[in-house]
Structure 1
Amino acid sequence: MDVQGNTEGAVVRKTLIVLLLVGLALLLVPLSGTLLLIFSAILIAVLIRSAAAPFRMLGIPETPAVLLGVLAIFAILYLVGWLFGAQLGQEFSNVAAQLPSAIDSARDWLRQQPWGQSLSLASLDLQSYFGRAVSFAFGAVGAITNLVLVVIGAIYFALQPGLYVRGAERLFPKEQGPRVVDALNASGVALQKYLLGQLFTMTVVGSLVAIGLTFVGLPSAGALGVIVGVANFIPLVGPVIGAIPGILLAFAQGPDALIAASLVYLVAQQAEGNVLTPLVQRWAVSIPPALLLFALGALGSLFGILGILLAAPLAVVLYTLVTMLWSRNALGYDVRVPGRRRSRGDDGG
């Protein structure tokens, strides 16, 4: 009788667990926007922890070091704005003013080509696309409120990361707790290295493009460099998207400017793909390109622009968790953990 009771109890527990998982899966859809905001806060918290690292190395206690890291980030942003804000603001205004006519020029040229009529009709309306992007980022849809929530949440995450890691640990069986904590810590390290590597790559590529376009004589070179640098945060497709405004403006100025600007973008992206990215991946995180591509497609179709922006860092976290909890712990494969140095016994899989 006791055996039958234990069996029935086990069945009930497993049934409840399945129902709980199904309920959580159903909640993911209506809560997806909130979950993306939480992940955005985690990204900023990782950057805050990185900025606080030098202060911790000086022996400053954890909480003051994190607060000093927050102040350091705001100080850097203020300094950059003070040094370049007025000039870049004017250049961005010039780009916004010139871009519509450049798009019209490119569309008119496309329509004049024998093969361009059908392509022009099938192509996206770039002006409306950029308009939707701006509306998403700056429209009256609670963006400012969300930004404030993300920043405040990031500060809380950065101040007490262990509190939230322990909370996640308690969602799993006690005997699996240490492995879960190890996997979460590994994903945090991988995410930190990925973000720092991306910031380095974005800065170098943006600077190369701005300097190159200045020598070419294209106006608003600084703003175009910022655009392509920021766009490089999105892997694979970001460099192409970031180059579009500069190519269109160069096209409006004539063939010589178009060829010169195209060479600048090509050289910068070749330097990024063949020099910077391999160098950064050797130190930080290497994710299979196909995985990043499908992550961009999936999250972009589900969540739009915000999904595209967060696809790569989210893929880094999920890839690390799957590597730690499934490939290594569950299946027993000796595969490399993203963000960790390769050991002698590592097969590099």
Structure 2
Amino acid sequence: MALPVREQFKYWGIAAAVFFLLLYALGDQLLPFFLGAAIAYFLDPVADWLEAHGCSRGLATGIITISAIIVFVLVALLVIPTLVEQAVQLFGATPQFARDLGTFLTERFPSLLDEGSTVRQTINSLGQTISERGGQLLETALTSAASLINIIVLFVIVPVVAVYLLLDWDRMIARVDELLPRDHAPVIRRLAKDVDKTLAGFIRGMGTVCLILGTYYAIALMLIGLQFGLVVGFVAGLLTFIPYVGAIVGGLLAIGLALFQFWGEWWWIVAVAVVFQIGQIAEGNFLTPKLVGNSVGLHPVWLILALSVFGALFGFVGMLVAVPMAAALGVIVRFVIEQYQSSRLYTGVSEKEETSAPEPQGQSEAED
């Protein structure tokens, strides 16, 4: 006999509380394992495709691992040093940008930026703060011993975890399915399928869109000759997972830098704007419909709320968990709404049921 609903809620509630408590207490230690699991989940369709074309699971995992190592080495040698160098230079050039902006506004609006005015002081102070704090933060993150150790640990543990999880992914899913409560297994499988569909559409689809657009923005801006084009492309691609935010932030940053660099050469400034316009057209008409689709079910506001709440509670690990948790909660909420709309609480008693209901016995006897 199945447990009463109240008992089931108690046990599932205890399990959820233990999970969040462990996440809060061991967030930093669990980070490599969450990253490894995310990478394995992202690459599982590739392994399945290789298996469908005649490879064993071990061979498919080996091919993916070797390919990933080659890509990582190329990126580490060709992209990361330039990215870090441009980021440091961008932080260092911020005060000069602020002074140039103040000079430009003074020439155009002399009454607004008098010497000693609040606006002028704010611009100068903001540029100086970004230069000092941003540069210090980046240099500290890159040079401190603890950060280097953490980076090394990530680079060692994450790939190992990802390889093992990718190799055993199908067996783990089958084992989890065997442990499901038998009475609720069909419903849990249905919800898990919907969650996987949502995550697959968002993480895999949007991850690919971010990679494509980030690469396009970086290469196009560097071909135009924009300083810090690689950094701008990286930022725009990274933020693309939130609709319109990546293009807006990246576009404003790129056009702002272009105004300082190409002032007077308007065709280059227009070229920077055209780069982002082409990126938006490609994303809206080709990339997102093909790679993500329309059935993701993760509203941008819901996603931002999940990232904010889980990030504040559990740090960077919370931000990694936020997307799958948001997808799972969204699926569960839709399931609860579906059950509610099919219940008597929502539908009430229809007229057909009222007419077909038997008359009270006392009433029928009185009529006789």
Indicate whether the TM-score tops 0.5: yes
Give the letter aligned to residue 98 of structure 1: Q
| TM-score, structure 1 as length reference | 0.70
Deviation at 1:321, TM superposition (A): 5.3
Deviation at 1:308, TM superposition (A): 4.6
The corresponding residue for 1:338 is: none
Counterpart of 2:292? 281
Tell me the residue number matched to 2:61: 66
What pairs with 1:84-95 in structure 2 (closer than 5 Å)?
85-86=77-78, 88=79, 91-92=82-83, 95=86
Q: Residue by residue, what CA displacement relative to the aligned partner does 1:85-131 show, whole Å, maximum 9, x if unpaired?
A: 44x45643652453134311233345565373475457994342465
1:225 equivalent in structure 2:
233
Native 8 Å contact 2:97 2:260 kept in 1: yes
Q: Say whether the 8 Å CA contact 2:214–2:233 is kept in structure 1.
A: yes
* Matched residue, 1:43: 38
**RMSD of aligned Cα (Å):** 4.2
From 119, 144, 157, the counterpart of 2:165: 157
- Please state if 1:297 is matched with 2:308: yes
Aligned to 2:52: 57
Instruction: Give the equivalent residue in structure 2 for 1:263.
Output: 273
Rounded to whole Å, the distance in 2 between the matches of 1:179 and 1:10 is: 15
Structure 1, unmatched stretches of 5+, are 1-6, 334-349
Q: Which amino acid aligns with 1:65?
A: A
- Give 1:103's aligned residue: 94
Q: Shift of residue 183 of structure 1? A: 3.0
- Amino acid of the structure 1 residue aligned with 2:261: Q
Q: 1:297 to 1:225 in 2, by over 3 A?
A: same
- Structure 1 residues 260 and 299: alpha-carbon distance in aligned structure 2, compared to 1, 3 A threshold: farther
Whole-angstrom distance in 2 between the partners of 1:207 and 1:70: 22
- How far apart, CA to CA, are the structure 1 residues paired with 2:10 and 2:288? 47
CA pair 302-70 structure 1, distance change in 2 beyond 3 A? same
Deviation, 1:57, is 1.6
Deviation at 1:72, TM superposition (A): 3.0
Q: Which has the larger radius of gyration?
A: 2
Q: May I ask how many residue pairs the two structures share in their alignment?
A: 320
* 1:176 counterpart = 2:167: no
CA gap of 1:19–1:123, structure 2 versus 1, over 3 A, is farther
Amino acid at match of 2:305: F
Q: Hey, what's the Cα distance between the residues in 2 that align with 1:224 and 1:94?
A: 13
Rounded Cα–Cα distance in structure 2 between residues aligned with 1:204 and 1:71: 22
Q: Which 5+ residue runs of structure 2 have no aligned equivalent?
A: 106-111, 113-117, 343-368
One-letter code aligned to 2:269: I
Amino acid at match of 1:297: S
Go from structure 1 to structure 2 and tell me whether the alpha carbon gap of 1:23 and 1:302 turns closer, same or farther (over 3 Å shift): closer
Percent identity between the two aligned chains: 22
Amino acid at match of 2:130: L
Q: Which moved more, 1:94-103 or 1:37-46?
A: 94-103
Please show how residues 121-270 of structure 1 align to structure 2 within 5 Å: 125-127=129-131, 128-129=133-134, 131-132=136-137, 135=140, 139-140=147-148, 142-165=150-173, 168-169=176-177, 173-214=181-222, 216-219=224-227, 221-222=229-230, 224-233=232-241, 237-242=245-250, 246-247=254-255, 249-255=257-263, 256=265, 259-260=269-270, 262-264=272-274, 266-270=276-280
Q: Is the 8 A contact 1:41 1:150 kept in 2?
A: yes
Q: Report the CA distance shift for 1:217/1:26 in structure 2 as closer, same or farther (over 3 A).
A: closer
Q: Which residue of 2 aligns with 1:342?
A: none
Q: Structure 1 pair 163/322, CA: closer, same or farther in 2 (3 Å)?
A: farther
Q: Compute the displacement of 1:45 (Å).
A: 0.4
Q: CA deviation at 1:56?
A: 1.0
In structure 2, relative to structure 1, the CA distance for the partners of 1:152 and 1:192 (3 Å cut) is farther
- Contact 2:206–2:292 (CA<8 Å) still a contact in 1? no
